[in-house]
Structure 1
Amino acid sequence: MLSSHGSLGISSPEATTDTAITPDSEDDVATEIIPKEEDADEQALENRGDAKPIAAGDADAAAQPTPRKRGRPRKHPIVEPKKTSHARSKTGCGTCRRRKKKCDETKPYCMNCEKNNVVCDGYEPKQPWRSGKQKALVIRNQIPAELPLLVDGVDGSIDQMFFRHFTTQVGRVLSLTDQQNPFLDIIVPMAMGHVGLMHSLLYLSGSCLMANEPNTRADWEERQEHHSSKAMLLLKEDLASLTSSGETAVATIGDPSIAQTLILCLQTVCAGDLTGSYRHHLNAMKEMLMIRQGSFPNEQLRRFILEFLLYHDYSSSITSLSNPLDGRSLALMKGFQLPEYMIQPQAGTLLGVMDGLFGFISRIRQLRDQIRQRRAMGKEHWWDTPIIHDAFVIDNELRAWECMHPPDSPRYAASLLYRQCTWIYLYRTVQLSRPSPTFKQAVDEGLRYLRMLPRETDDGSTQSILLMPLFLLGCAAFEPEQRPEISAAFQRLQEWSSLGNIKYAKAIVEQVWQMMDEGREEETWDWETIIARRGWDFLVT
């Protein structure tokens, strides 16, 4: 047996597979012995990837060894579904790309957008090819390099120039106090936190610069118009946002918006506006202050704004053909007279308001309206008994008036000048319009007070309030020798302040002088009509 089996194992030299009989073999069937992998020749290893499973007993197939697979074979092998190969289009229309939909890329508009009834944004233009480094450089260059504004509303060198001009020139010119400057101490700090007020401030400053610039600057004009539109827009938005049901906007308007109205009113004065735009701002301020009389958290701001309003409101009655003073003006003036223990008259910023002189001006204006009505009716005499009686009352009160400022203060001479010009206003109203020794004496006395005012060392507290008394002195200067000094005072004031309304006030005074010299003295009484015939409406403040 052993020899026979051994002869079977070596009988065929071409056999490559060894077999062995084991005790556990059934029917003594030869068992296939799998050679080790390291014993296989190199050619067989290369062909293993192409080998297929071979049934047992197949001698020819057994000549090519194959690797054994681990685990039990699956009865039904899993067949992976084929993925639809669809590359995402990078050239689709803008609408489909945003909607993440497939685009048919029909030109000029894709049919997908047409079918869905949406607007097709079209296709992006072809871009030149760029490398990765070039794309990264473009992205870096697209990053915004601008920094935020340091102060909201001040954008660029021109705006900075406007702001600097306000803080160094305009604010100083508008200052009417001896010790403090409300525009620099109150308005500017408030504007730093309120963009609408800042636009108004820059609009005012730009208007002052342009009013005295001989050549028009297009860049200045463009920035000035920008600040004007932004100031008006933001003020309207503030009013609209504060409007609530059953409550008007002015009832809840904030202090910055009221200050903004004040600055816009000043702009019309400084720019030399002749259309009477200041009246809209004064009326708005009257309404705001009437409603908010007891609801100002900042008492210093309330007093400054109220005094500013009264000064300009009462001064406007001197040049306006129709009397601008109404019940609100009288009520606000009455409410401004605080008890002595709370505030002294010398603490006021504007002459004529706290010392009571503007109360006389409003009463004299009422007399002028009555006389103007009698003149229009062709009455033989301009005045009647009630008019003369009221004039005597005002005259007695002016004689009893006492200046509250110390004699060593610049306000002392300025207050006496204001009282003198108030009396000239009264005398010019009730007396015939012709030269007289009384007119000459009154104007000479006013010029003496004018010479007492400091010029070189003035801090602005007196220069800022000279336009109104100069106008009244000029309209009463029947004597030609008095006029050069008044003209020189006008010129000094123009050079010092550069306000746009001074030249128009001087032009009216010079026209009055010309009419006096032409023998038309009677017509010079009604200088309000002279102004109206020119189509002008401006403030002498």
Structure 2
Amino acid sequence: MSSASDSPMTTPNFDSTIFNNSDTRSESRLETRSRSNEVVPKLEETELQLADVKEESFGDDPPISPTEPVRIRRARGRPRIHPPRSPTTLAKQAKARSKTGCTTCRKRKKKCDETKPFCMSCQKNNIHCEGYKPVELWKSGKEKAADARKQSVEVKFELPPLMEGVESDLDRDLLQHFVSRASAVLSLHGDQSTNPFTRILLPMALQHEGLMHSVLCLSASHMYSVNPSEEYEDRQNFHRSKALKLLKHDLERQKAGEGGVMIYEDSNVAQILVHLLHSICDGNTSGEYRMHMVAAKQIAMNQKSLNPEFQTLFDEFFYYHWIASQITSLDGAEVPMMENFSLPFEINPETAALIGISDGLFGFISKISNLRRRLRTRIDEKIAPTMDYEALLAAHAIDSGLRTWVCPQSPGTPRYTISMLYRQATWVYLYRTTKDSHPHPFIKSAVDDGIRYINELPSEGWIQSNVLLPLFLIGCAAFEEEQRVEINRAFNGLIACTGLGNIGFAKEVVDDIWKLMDADDAESWDWEKIINAKGWDFLAT
């Protein structure tokens, strides 16, 4: 019995019909594909057939030369794409005009070689080249709008000055420096409420532009001595010029009083005092302070202020600097003194701003200066003996007065210590005037005591402001090397504390005196001549 798998497979008739039909369609597609693969050239409408070309009748015209091309009239239709130009044609094409040339060449419509900063074409033709315009970067509309908004936000209007003369931020800093620092190193009063500069002069400056410029000039000078800067120097010169110009204008408007003597307003008198102090801060050695001193002396002799506080301030500062100027200058004049060595005015020791005036010691210093001028004249004229009878009596009277002098300050206070320092320096000044320039136990003991007073003083600026004068006098008598070490230390500390410009010149004079002392030179006592030989004239205050 045979299985189904062994029996032959029979295919129905409908299957053979389907295959026959598919074969027929396949052959049809192959035939179509073969026809589509044949390349058939496409004739453009502008192409001409040879049959379309008709012979033109030339008539009687001569035949065309065989070398000339036959001109064929082009049929109408879609135009051909223009053929590219030859390199020769491109070379002849006009180039675009450059917009980066210099302004002069663009105006002259000439070619510019664009040499920076000035083109060579203009230089060769001897023409002034105006240079090149700045390159303007393209910005979108949003960027331009943002710039416009930024500019509108940044626009601000400067506020007018509140005080005449205080015109900038730097001026406001200078005014603050005067209140907090400069005024403190020019007076014994560290407290602003008791300092005469801030309590008396500053309110006057707020009402007077010229005085305000003088105050700012003084402050800028002190700032420059502490921290040298071109900015401070320029501002100092500016305020000084304005102050002197306004002072001159005020004096031209004022009328002379009785006897033809000029009467000054308090604000102008204050300007004279401030400019006197400016020559100290500035470290001027040309004697600039003298013209202010002469004016102040005329005022002191001929008028009194209606403001008693200001009059006291003026008297104290004028007489202090007038007497102190005699210590470092040959051109001194005697100050009118009473028989008890007192100054021709009275002052309260508690409110005094400068030691030496309030306690009466400057009366002794003035007498010693007068004695020195007398002895110098006798030496120059070779009159013997140098210490005559009158000179001995004057020296004895000064020595006796110093021994009976009583300090008006309370013991244990910085004011008491500096007053005793002035007393010690005054005696040293007398000794160096009347004795030969040789080491001696007496002068060594006096200098040692003076150094002890200096070392006891606090380092605050308000007390150190009065140390230079006694330090100078004691330094000119320091014969011993260990004394000079202490003197040098005191000078360095004084410069760091106060920043006054005249301290360095005083120290240089002391150094010269030490060289003469070491050489056993008899002229080492006369430091006024040494200063004059240098061409200097300054205040050691």
TM-score, normalised relative to structure 2: 0.67
Aligned with residue 255 of structure 1, among 253, 266, 285: 266
Structure 1 residue 212: Cα displacement: 3.8
Partner of 1:163: 175
CA offsets 1:400-436 (integer angstroms, 9 cap, x no match): 0011111122111111111111011111111111111
Aligned alpha-carbon RMSD (Å): 2.5
Q: Give yes or no for contact 2:437–2:517 (8 Å, CA) kept in 1.
A: no
* Deviations 1:329-388, CA, capped at 9 Å, x for gaps: 99x9743136xxxxx434322211132111111111111111111111224542112111
Q: How does 1:373-384 map to 2 (within 5 A)?
A: 373-384=377-388
Q: Distance in 2 between matches of 1:355 and 1:382?
A: 31
SS class of match (2:327): helix
Write the distance in 1 (CA, Å) between the matches of 2:509 and 2:349. 33
Are residue 283 (structure 1) and residue 284 (structure 2) matched?
no
How is 1:92-111 mapped onto 2 (pairs within 5 angstroms)? Answer: none
Choose from 383, 386, 390 the match for 1:386. 390
CA 328–416 in structure 1, closer or farther in 2 if over 3 Å, else same: closer
Instruction: Give matches, 1:294-373, under 5 Å.
Output: 296-327=305-336, 334-337=343-346, 344-373=348-377
CA distance in 2 between counterparts of 1:398 and 1:292 reads: 32
Q: Say which of 227, 232, 248 aligns to 1:236.
A: 248
Whether contact under 8 Å (1:474, 1:509) holds in the other structure is: yes
Give 2:435's aligned residue.
Answer: 431
The correspondence for 2:213, drawn from 196, 199, 202, is 199
8 Å CA contact retained: 1:286, 1:329: no
Distance 1:429 1:159, change over 3 A: same
Distance 1:408 1:248 in 2: 51
Per-residue deviation, 1:325: 3.5
Q: How does 1:81-160 map to 2 (within 5 A)?
A: 145-160=157-172
User: 1:476 deviation in Å?
Assistant: 0.3
Whether contact under 8 Å (1:313, 1:324) holds in the other structure is no
SS of 1:335's equivalent in the other structure is coil
Using the TM superposition, give the Cα deviation of residue 467 of structure 1 relative to its aligned residue in structure 2, in angstroms: 0.2
Report the 3-state secondary structure (helix = DSSP H, G, I; strand = E; otherwise coil) of the residue aligned with 2:495.
helix
Hey, what's the Cα distance between the residues in 2 that align with 1:354 and 1:509? 27
Q: Which runs of 5+ in 1 are unaligned?
A: 1-139, 339-343
Conservation of the 8 A alpha-carbon contact between 1:313 and 1:325: no
Distance 1:317 1:161 in 2: 36
TM-score, structure 1 as length reference: 0.67
Q: Residues 319, 238 of structure 1: CA spacing in aligned structure 2 closer, same or farther, 3 A cutoff?
A: same
Q: Following the alignment from structure 1 to structure 2, what is the Cα–Cα distance between the partners of residues 396 and 346?
A: 26
Contact 2:285–2:538 (8 Å) recurs in 1: yes
Asked if the contact 1:310–1:333 (Cα under 8 Å) also holds between the matched residues in 2, the reply is: no
1:463 correspondence with 2:472: no
- 2:337 and 2:363 in contact (8 A); partners too: no
Alpha-carbon distance between aligned partners in 1 of 2:167 and 2:177, rounded to the nearest angstrom: 15
Measured at CA, do residues 366 and 149 of structure 1 come closer, stay the same or move farther in structure 2, by a change above 3 Å? same
Describe the SS at the equivalent of 2:523: helix
Instruction: Name the % identity.
Output: 43
CA deviation string 1:122-148 (max 9, x = no partner): xxxxxxxxxxxxxxxxxx9xx995442
SS in 2 for 1:345: coil
The whole-number CA distance in structure 1 between the counterparts of 2:257 and 2:497 is 49
Q: What does residue 419 of structure 2 align with?
A: 415
Q: Indicate the structure (1 or 2) with the bigger Cα radius of gyration.
A: 2
Contact 1:290 1:328 in 2 (8 A): no
1:49-106 deviation digits (Å, cap 9, x = unpaired)? xxxxxxxxxxxxxxxxxxxxxxxxxxxxxxxxxxxxxxxxxxxxxxxxxxxxxxxxxx
2:416 alignment partner AA: Y
Q: Which moved more, 1:446-455 or 1:269-278?
A: 446-455
* CA–CA separation in structure 1 for the residues paired with 2:338 and 2:531: 23
**Given the alignment, which residue of 171, 176, 179 partners 2:188?**
176
Task: Please tell me whether residue 503 in structure 1 is matched to residue 497 in structure 2.
Answer: no
Cα distance per residue 1:410-469 (max 9 Å; x no partner): 1111111111110111111111111111111110111122222223xxx54421100000
In 2: Cα distance, 1:207 partner to 1:154 partner: 16
Which residue number in structure 2 is paired with residue 264 of structure 1? 275
- Structure 1 pair 471–334 and aligned structure 2 pair: CA distance change class (3 A): closer
Query: Is the Cα contact below 8 Å between 2:495 and 2:503 reproduced in 1?
Result: yes
Partner Cα distance (2:214, 2:342) in 1: 27
Distance (whole Å) between structure 1 residues aligned to residue 355 and residue 260 of structure 2: 33
1:226 partner letter? F
> Residue type of the partner of 1:386?
E
Question: Using a 3 Å threshold, how does the CA distance of structure 1 residues 244 and 309 change in structure 2: closer, same or farther?
Answer: closer
Alpha-carbon shift at residue 185 of structure 1 (Å): 1.3
Shift of 1:398: 0.8
Runs of 5+ unmatched residues, structure 2: 1-151
For residue 539 of structure 1, report the CA deviation from its aligned partner: 0.4
Question: How much does 1:239 deviate?
Answer: 1.2
Query: C-alpha distance in 1, partners of 2:250/2:368?
Result: 39
What does residue 482 of structure 1 align with? 483
> Is 2:527 the partner of 1:527?
yes
- Cα distance, 1:448–1:157 mapped onto 2, change above 3 Å: same
* Aligned counterpart, 1:536: 536
* Structure 1 CA distance for aligned equivalents of residues 297 and 384 of structure 2: 39
How far apart are 1:247 and its partner, in Å? 6.5
Shift of the alpha carbon at 1:326?
A: 4.5
Hey, what does 1:403 align to over in structure 2? 407
- Match for 1:235: what amino acid? L
8 Å CA contact retained: 2:211, 2:270: yes
Task: Give the letter aligned to residue 307 of structure 1.
Answer: E
Name the amino acid aligned to 1:183: F
Cα pair distance change 1:258/1:510, threshold 3 Å: same
Q: Aligned partner of 2:176: which letter?
A: R
Shift of 1:228: 1.1
Kept after mapping to 1: 8 A contact 2:421/2:470: yes
Work out the number of aligned pairs and report it: 386
Report the Cα distance in structure 2 between the residues aligned to 1:474 and 1:408, rounded to whole angstroms.
Answer: 25
